Amino acid sequence: MILDLFRLDGQVAVVTGAGRGIGAASALGLAECGADVIIASRTQGDLDRVAEKISAAGRRAVTVAADLSDLDAVRRLAEIARSEFGRLDVVVNNVGGAIPLPFLDTTVEYLEEAFHFNVSTAHALNLVAVPLMLEHGGGSIINISSVMGRVSGRGYSAYGATKAALAHYTRLISKDLAPKIRVNAIAAGSTATSALEIVTGTPELKSMVEALTPLHRIADPEEIAASVVYLASAAGAFLTGKVLEVDGGTDVPSLDFGLPDL
């Protein structure tokens, strides 16, 4: 049956930023399809709640509470995969983000910090994950990018530029790692995560986002997670170097900050 292609039985995944939102939903989705999961984020309490759901799905979760802007902490995730499970098959680089700022407030230091958090952390994990993945024939890497890596709007120079870098990084390393390891990305649109609470909790902002999204709604984290499962599994076995645009049809920023001309 075609549904069998989505199974991940016997596989092991690492998901960063897995305490809430897209990361949490992705970790649970992978577990529901049969994978054991190493979940990492800053807050142990968030991880414990996700781990309980993974256990209820019949799979094992290993929690790692760490500041994932620390590259040493990121690198340890592959060591944990080896010591706990002896293998690694799926990497979901979900941790990232940057607060939009007006251009003149976007310092060089802030831009470099955004690049570090959105791109360097993913590269650090991939570097240590790939040798372990190859020991069992390969696997799948999924980078969570953003629609803002493709469209343009005021205030998004740091966030958009670094998410665009992550998307093209995906295309580039897919050539380095083919044919054994597939590398894809998801350009997510506005999604109901904790990062968007200021929007979902403010009727005027929520209405703006919905109006500027052709499907006229905000995505659920599970909708992004479904794409993660697709890319991780045999269902997506003929995709590599691609960026799936799971964005409700968005062609312009769904949140306009109304920044004036300089």
List phi, psi (to 5°) of 111: -60, -45
List phi, psi (to 5°) of 46: -65, -45
Amino acid 127 reads L
* 146: β partners: 188
159 is known as an active-site residue: yes
What are the residues whose beta carbons fall under 8 Å from the beta carbon of 171, sequence distance 6 or more? Answer: 241, 242, 243
What are the residues whose beta carbons fall under 8 Å from the beta carbon of 151, sequence distance 6 or more? Answer: 160, 250, 251, 252, 253
As a whole number of angstroms, the distance between CA 170 and CA 42 comes to 25
Cβ atoms of 9 and 232 within 8 Å: the answer is no
Distances (CA, A) of 177 to 40, 138, 152, 170: 24, 9, 30, 10
Query: In the structure encoding, which two tokens stand for residue 223, read together?
Result: 């909708």
Of these residues, 110, 156, 159, 169, which one is catalytic?
Answer: 159
* 61: β partners: 37
The residues carrying an active-site annotation are 159
